[in-house]
Structure 1
Amino acid sequence: MTFVAAPAKALFAFSRGTQATLSVAQPLIAALIADDRPAPQRLAAAALAAFAGFFAVFALNDLLDIDMDRRRFAHPRPYEGTDLDGVGGRHPLARGRLSRRAALAWIGGLGLVAVVITALLSWVCVALFAVAALLQVLYCRLATVTPYKFLVSGVMVAVGGSVGWFTVSTVVDPLRLGLFLVWMAAWEIGGRNIPNDLADLDEDRHLGVRTLPVVHGPRAGAATACGFLLVAGAASCALAWVALGSFGPPGLVGTVLVTAATLVRPGLALLRRPEPPLALAVFNRASFQPVGVLAVLAVGLATTG
C-alpha cells in the first residue's frame, strides 16, 4: 500500500490537487447559469473534463517552473502556515519525489482525457481549453519579466471557467457571461495570484521573480488585491441578481454572505495588515468562494425547481 500511496500522493501534490478540485466549481457555475436545467450526462461529462483539465494545467505549471522551484528551496518562507497549494507537499517534481517521465505521462494523459471529452461536447470548448493552456505557458515564461503577468493569469482563469458555459449551451447571454468572466478574472487576481505572490515575497526576491509585491512593495500588492477582491465580490453578487431565476432568493442571500466571508472581509484585513502570513490566509479563504457560490446556487435551483 505504501508503494502505491507515495506516487499517488506525489501526483496529487504535483497537480495541487486540493486547489484543482476546488477549481472545478468555476466551469460548473458557468454551465448552470447558461442552462439551469442541463442534461445530467452533459453536466457530468463537463465535471469530468474539468477535473482532468485542472489537474493537468496545475501540473503543467510545476513542470514549467521546475528549475526555479529547485532554487526556491534554498530560501524557503520564513514562516509556517497552511497552504492549499501545498497539500501533499510543495513542488514534488522539483524535490525529486516524481520523475520527469512520470510527470509528462500524467500531464499528457489528463490533457488527452480533457480534450477528448470536451471535443465530444463542443469544439468551442476544445479551443477555449487550448487558449487557457497557452496562457498558462505564457504566464510561467513571464515570471522574471514583468510584475503585471497577473493580468494573464486572470484572463486564463476566466477563459478556462467559461468552458463550462459552452458545454451546455451555444447561445451567449452577454450580461451573464460577461459578469462571470469579470468575476473569475478579478477573483483569480485578487484572491489567488497577488496574495500568493505576497505570501512568497521572500522566496521571490531571492529568485528574481518580478511580482507586484516584489517590485512595488507589500502595501501596493495588498491594495491591488483588495481592489480586485471587491470587484470580484460585486460581480458575483450582480450575477446572482441577474440570474435570480436560477439562484433564487436563498442563492442570492447565500452568495452575498459567502462573498463577504471569503473575499470582502479578508481583503480589507489584508489592506490593513499587508503581511505574507495574512496573505496566505486570504489566498486559502478566497479559494473557497466559487465552491460556496456553487453550493448556494444548487440550493437556489432546488428551491426554485
Structure 2
Amino acid sequence: MYGLSRGTQAVLSIAQPLVAALLADGSPSPGRLALATVGGLAGFLAVFATNDLMDAGVDGRRFATHLRADTGPDIDSAGARHPLAQGLLTRRLALGWIAGLSVLALVIGALLNPVCVLLFLLAALLEVVYCRLATVTPYKFLLSGVMVAVGASAGWFAFRTSVDPLPLGLFVLWMFAWEIGGRNIPNDLADVAEDVRLGIRTVPVVYGARPAVWLAGGFLLVAFAASGVLMVVAWPVFGVVGLVGTLAVGVLTLLRPALLLVRDPGAALPAFNLATFHPVGVLAALVAALLLR
C-alpha cells in the first residue's frame, strides 16, 4: 500500500498545501491545521494510488519487458515500484484503498471549505486525464503542473474563503513550474528507455534529452523567481527570514537540480530527488519565520 500510494512522495507533498495555508493565514489554528494535514495526506495518497491504478496496464508491460537501470535512490519508488503492476496487490484491494482515502479527504475538505472538495475532485480528474494521455501527447506535462497547482491551492481555501489574486496567483505559478521542471520532466528523463519501448510520448522521448533539460531548467528558474517574488509580497508576515530562507532553499532544490541536469541529463534522478524536497524546505523556512516573528 505504501508503494501504491508512493508514501514518501505523498508525505512530502503535504508541504504544498501547508505552505498555501500559511500564506493565507499567518496564524492558523492548530486544530484546523491538523485536520487539514490529515485531509491533505489522504488526498495525496489517493491521487498517487489512482495514478498507479490507471497505469497498471502500461506498467505491467514495463515490468514484462525491461526494468529501468538502477541509477540511484528514487523517492518515487520507495516501498515498491508499481506494486499493482507487479501483482503484489489485487485491483480490488487497490480500489478499496483509493475509495476509503478519497472519502476521508472529501469529508475533511467539506468540513474545512467546500471549495477544497471541488479542488480535490478537479485534481483527481486531471490525474485520470493525464494518465489517459500517456501515449497520445508529450504536452501532458502541462496537465501535471496544473494538477499539482490545483491540489496545493486547497491549502489556501482551507483557511481563507476569499481570493487574494497576487499571492495566490504567484503560488499557483510557483507550484505549476516546480512540478514540471523539478519532478515531471526529470522523471521522464529517467524513464526514456522504457517509455520508447512502451510507446509513451514524453518531451525527452519526442524531442530528445537536451531540449527536455533546457525546458526543465526554464521551469525551475520560473519557480525560483515566483517563490522569491511571493516572499517579497508576503514580507509583512514572513519578513527577512521567510525571504532569505525561501531563496536559500530554492538555490539548493531548484537551481542546483537545474545545474545538475544541464551538466548531465543522466543525473535526472538526483535532480528529481533534490527538487522533491523543495516545498518541505520552504515550509520549514516559513515556520521558522513565524516562530521568530
What is the deviation of 1:263? 0.7
1:282 matched to 2:271: yes
What is the deviation of 1:82? 0.5
Q: Is the 8 A contact 1:75 1:206 kept in 2?
A: no
Q: Is the 8 A contact 1:244 1:252 kept in 2?
A: yes
**2:23 pairs with one of 16, 33, 41:** 33
* Consecutive unaligned residues in structure 2, runs of 5 or more: none
Partner of 1:300: 289
> Which whole-Å CA distance do the structure 2 matches of 1:170 and 1:46 have between them?
15
Q: Is the 8 A contact 1:186 1:228 kept in 2?
A: yes
> Which whole-Å CA distance do the structure 2 matches of 1:114 and 1:222 have between them?
35
Q: Is the 8 A contact 2:141 2:185 kept in 1?
A: yes
Overall identity of the aligned pairs, in %: 62
**1:22 pairs with one of 12, 16, 23:** 12
1:179-194 correspondence to structure 2 within 5 Å? 179-194=170-185
1:167 matched to 2:158: yes
**2:59 pairs with one of 55, 69, 90:** 69
1:240-251 correspondence to structure 2 within 5 Å? 240-251=231-242
Q: Is the 8 A contact 1:16 1:86 kept in 2?
A: yes
1:176-235 deviation per Cα after TM superposition (whole angstroms, max 9, x unaligned) = 000100000000000000000001110101100000000000001101000000001111
1:48 matched to 2:38: yes
Q: Is the 8 A contact 1:247 1:296 kept in 2?
A: no
> How many residue pairs end up in the alignment?
292
When the two chains are superposed, the root-mean-square deviation of aligned CA atoms in Å is 0.8
1:153 matched to 2:144: yes
> Which whole-Å CA distance do the structure 2 matches of 1:225 and 1:89 have between them?
27
1:32-52 deviation per Cα after TM superposition (whole angstroms, max 9, x unaligned) = 101111222211111110000
Q: Is the 8 A contact 1:266 1:282 kept in 2?
A: yes
1:1-305 correspondence to structure 2 within 5 Å? 11-73=1-63, 74-275=65-266, 278-304=267-293
> Which whole-Å CA distance do the structure 2 matches of 1:22 and 1:78 have between them?
25
SS at match of 2:85: coil
What is the deviation of 1:171? 1.5
> Which whole-Å CA distance do the structure 2 matches of 1:237 and 1:47 have between them?
25
> Which whole-Å CA distance do the structure 2 matches of 1:265 and 1:281 have between them?
10
1:235-265 deviation per Cα after TM superposition (whole angstroms, max 9, x unaligned) = 1111111111222211211111110011102
